[in-house]
Amino acid sequence: MRSIDFLTHDHTLFRDREVFEADFVPEQFGHREAQVRELAFLAAPGLEGNTPSCAVLRGPPGTGKTTSVLRLFSEIEEATRRLAPVHVNCQNERTRYAVFARVLEHLAGHPLPTTGTPLPEVLRRIARRCQERKCALLVCLDDANYLAAGDELNAVLSTLLRLHESFRSVRAGVFAVISDMDLDLRREVDARVFSVFHPAEVLFPPYTADEVHEILAQRVGQGLFPGAMDRIVAFAGAEGDIRAGIDLVRKSAEHAGREGRYRVLARDVVAVAGQVRAPALRRIAARLRKPERDLLVVLGRISAAGGAAMGPAEAYRAVREEIPLSYTTFRERLKTFEKDGILALPLVAGEGRRREIAFRYDPMAVMEACQEYTVP
């Protein structure tokens, strides 16, 4: 078979390949109605050119934050010219200059000249565009935690929210998206800036297993001919991040394509599952501090070896033999892991307030992810 034939085969396997791309915005977007409605409500003053309200969107990775914003922003763009919504991915734009350059590019509709326009000039041009268009600005700082290092987040927020002080009738609101559940914006942001920001908090909890099932089934139905759906959902459910499921679907179909088949079989899923391992887990591990990762490695080992469910007290006794830490610190760290979605601490049925430690990922995968980041 010529290599070009693989590609053609691959095409026939996908009804629509684009639906598995990371930046695909799905048509069907359930389970987030409340959050999208809340965001629309906050943006609403902007539709008449007034100042949009600010928000912090908070939730672990893969909970639909970016998609909610992108969908709302495209509705706004269709509905009015009085509000300019700009989505900025702070993983890519990590400095105040990069953020504002992105905002100006969006307003101008073309990239900035690479010669480097100084920041005050960039701000002036942003303001001029807004004044000419008589529009308010709504800037989404997506994954704003990437700006928290240094003083960039403070600078971006205070500049945006004070634009109207330097430029008449230029009004801006900010949606800050935070995937790092440990980040406390009140601590990161100056009290003075926070008081002009005073964001409403919009929470994005992890999807339940049923929701994951439904979302993936929709995506598969849209993008792929029927295949090994149950297998995929079983893998993706264990990963806890919907993105892993979508990735797995795409890679499984590619694998089938490479073997010249039109149907995705369970063995395609098995063959590629290793490559899709826990992107969420790696992201979480990267955010944890070293003592936290060390603790997870020990907990993972205990859990992998133990078999039977263990409670926090028993786990603490075992951990203390390897890591000196107080019970209070231990409990705090468990809470962190719970918030990040690595662990659950469910009540043990029929045993009152007794809880058990349950890994939401394969403990071996957790240990691997943590150890990867321990390597200097």
Ligand X SMILES: Nc1ncnc2c1ncn2[C@@H]1O[C@H](COP(=O)(O)OP(=O)(O)O)[C@@H](O)[C@H]1O
Where along the sequence are the contacts to ligand X (CB under 6 A)?
A: 24, 26, 29-32, 59, 61-67, 179, 204, 215, 242-243, 246
State in angstroms the smallest separation of the CB of 273 from ligand X: 18
Closer to Mg ion by CB, 63 or 252: give it: 63
The span of 60-68, 71-79, 232-240, 246-254 binding Mg ion (CB under 5 A) equals 60-68
Q: Binding of Mg ion at residue 145 (CB under 5 A)?
A: no
Which residues does 350 contact at the CB level (< 8 Å), separation at least 6?
none
Q: Among residues 66 and 158, whose Cβ is nearest to Mg ion?
A: 66
Q: What is the side-by-side strand order in the sheet with 172-178? A: 83-89, 136-142, 172-178, 55-58, 200-203
- Which residue, 131 or 275, has its beta carbon nearer to ligand X? 275
228 binds, among Mg ion, ligand X, none (CB under 5 to 8 A by kind): none
Which of 49, 245 has the CB closer to ligand X? 245
Please enumerate in sequence order all residues whose Cβ is within 8 A of that of 302, keeping only pairs 6 or more positions apart, or say none.
Answer: 310, 315, 318, 319
Q: How far apart are CB 235 and ligand X at their closest, in Å?
A: 15
Q: Which is nearer to ligand X, 52 or 61 (CB)?
A: 61
Ranges of H-type helices in the chain? 3-13, 33-43, 65-79, 96-108, 119-133, 152-161, 163-166, 185-188, 191-197, 209-223, 229-239, 242-258, 266-273, 279-287, 290-306, 312-320, 327-340, 363-374
Judge whether 89 and 111 are in contact, CB under 8 Å.
Answer: no
- Other beta carbons within 10 angstroms of residue 27's beta carbon come to 9
Q: How far is the CB of 61 from Mg ion (least distance, A)?
A: 7
Q: Which does 206 bind (CB under 5 to 8 A by kind): Mg ion, ligand X, none?
A: none
Q: Smallest distance from the beta carbon of 67 to ligand X, in angstroms?
A: 3
In angstroms, give the least distance from the CB of 180 to Mg ion. Answer: 12
Bridge partners, residue 358, by sequence: 344
The smaller minimum CB distance to ligand X, of residues 69 and 299, is found at 69
68 binds Mg ion, rule: CB under 5 A: no
Rounded Cα–Cα distance for residues 140 and 94 (Å): 14
Rule CB under 5 A: say whether 53 interacts with Mg ion.
no
Q: Strands 343-344 and 358-359: what pairing?
A: antiparallel
Can you tell me which of 66, 154, 158, 159 binds Mg ion, judged by CB under 5 A?
66
- Kindly list the residues in this chain that would bind Mg ion in the complex (CB under 5 A): 66
